[in-house]
Amino acid sequence: MSTILEKIAQIEGEMARTQKNKATAGHIGLLKARLAKLRRELITPKGGGGGPAGDGFDVAKTGDARIGFVGFPSVGKSTLLTTLAGVYSEVAAYEFTTLTTVPGCIKYKGAKIQLLDLPGIIEGAKDGKGRGRQVIAVARTCSLIFIVLDVLKPLGHKRIIEKELEGFGLRLNKQPPNIVFRRKDKGGINLQTMTQQSELDLDTVKTILSEYRIHNADITLRYDATADDLIDVVEGNRIYVPCIYLLNKIDQISIEELDIIYKIPHCVPISAHHKWNFDDLLEKMWEYLKLVRIYTKPKGQLPDYNSPIVLNRDHRAVEDFCNKLHRSIIKEFKYGLVWGSSVKHQPQKVGKDHVLEDEDVVQVVKKV
C-alpha cells in the first residue's frame, strides 16, 4: 500500500514540475495514465475478493433510488438526515461523530428514496487515509450525491471533496466522453478526429495507450478531448453521477451573500437545523434523479394513484414497466392501454417498446 502511495506522490510531484506545452503533452499523458492505473490498484487490491469492506459500510440497496451524503466531518450531514428522514444519526459538536454508514428512507412523490449518511471524508481519502476508501466505495453505488458544505468555508472543501471523488473514478455532473474506442488484433493505432484537437495528437494517444499495452485500436474523437477523457474511456470503470452541493448553515450569513450563492450552478442553500429551504432541495433532488411515475390500472377498476411504479427516465418503455411489476408479465404481454401525455388518444393501444411519460396510467392486457 505505502509503495503505491509513494509512487502516486512521486508522479504527482513530477506532473507539478513539468511545464505544460505541445512538446511535453505526450509525457504528461503518460504520467496521467500511470496515475490512473495506480489509483485503480488502490481501489481494487490485487488478489481478488477485495477483502472485507469494513463494518457497517455495505448497506443493502432498497427503494427506487439511493442518495449518498458526502462531506467533511461536522458540516451537518447527520442533522440533515435526521430532519429529512426522521432517522437518528448521532450528532455532536466534535468532528468524526458518524463512524459507519447510517441509512434512512424518505417517500417523495410516491418514490421511496434511500438516504445514506456516509462518515466524514478527510483529505487523502482516495489514498487510503481514514475510512475514506470505504466511504467512496459506497458513494459509487448511489444514484445521486449530496455534497454537504459549510457555507462559511465552501470552496476549499468543495475542491478537496471533488478531487477525492474524482480520484476514485466518480465523475460529478458530467457526461461520458464522446470517444469511440475499439480494440483490434492488428493494424496499429488508427486515430480519427471530427474536430480540431488542442491536446491530443496521434503520438500522445499512442504514448497513453502503450502504458496500457494497447498497440492496436481504432479511436474516434468527436470533440476536443483531453488526455483525462481518453484515460477514462480506456479504464472503463468510471461512474457518471449527478451531484447537488448543499450549502448548510445559511442562518449564519447575510441576505446579500445568499443572493450570490443562489447563482452557483448545482447548489442549494439550506439550514438543516432550522429546516429552511427543504422544499427547494427536494424539488432539485427529484429533477436530478430523473425519475418517472407510472400508475397501474387493473381491468375494470380505477387507477392506483397511491403507489406508482417508479422508473428511470432513460429506461421507461412499457417493457421496463412490466419487468418492474414482475419478470413473468412480459412473456404473457399482448398489448398495453395507456392514458396520459405519451399518447395521442385516451386510451391508446401500445406495444412493449412504447416510451412512457411521467404520471401515465397503464393497463396491461395479457395473452389468453
Cell representation of residue 146? 449530496
Cell representation of residue 182? 475499439
Beta-strand relationship, 239-241 and 267-269: unpaired
Integer Cα distance of 171 and 236 in angstroms: 12
**Residue appearing with cell numbers 429546516:** 275
**Residue appearing with cell numbers 455534497:** 147
- Cβ within 8 Å of residue 9, ≥6 positions away: none
- DSSP 8-state assignment for residue 238: -
As a whole number, the mean pLDDT across the chain is 80
Residue range 313-330, pLDDT digits in tens: 888 898 888 888 888 888
**Residue appearing with cell numbers 418514490:** 111
Residue range 95-141, pLDDT digits in tens: 444 445 667 788 888 888 888 877 655 555 555 555 556 666 777 78
Domain architecture of the chain: domains with CATH: 4-44+177-237 (no CATH), 65-173+240-288 (3.40.50.300), 291-366 (3.10.20.30)
Residue range 126-184, pLDDT digits in tens: 555 555 566 667 777 888 988 888 888 767 788 888 887 887 778 888 888 888 899 88
Integer Cα distance of 288 and 308 in angstroms: 19
Residue range 267-291, pLDDT digits in tens: 888 887 788 888 888 888 888 988 8
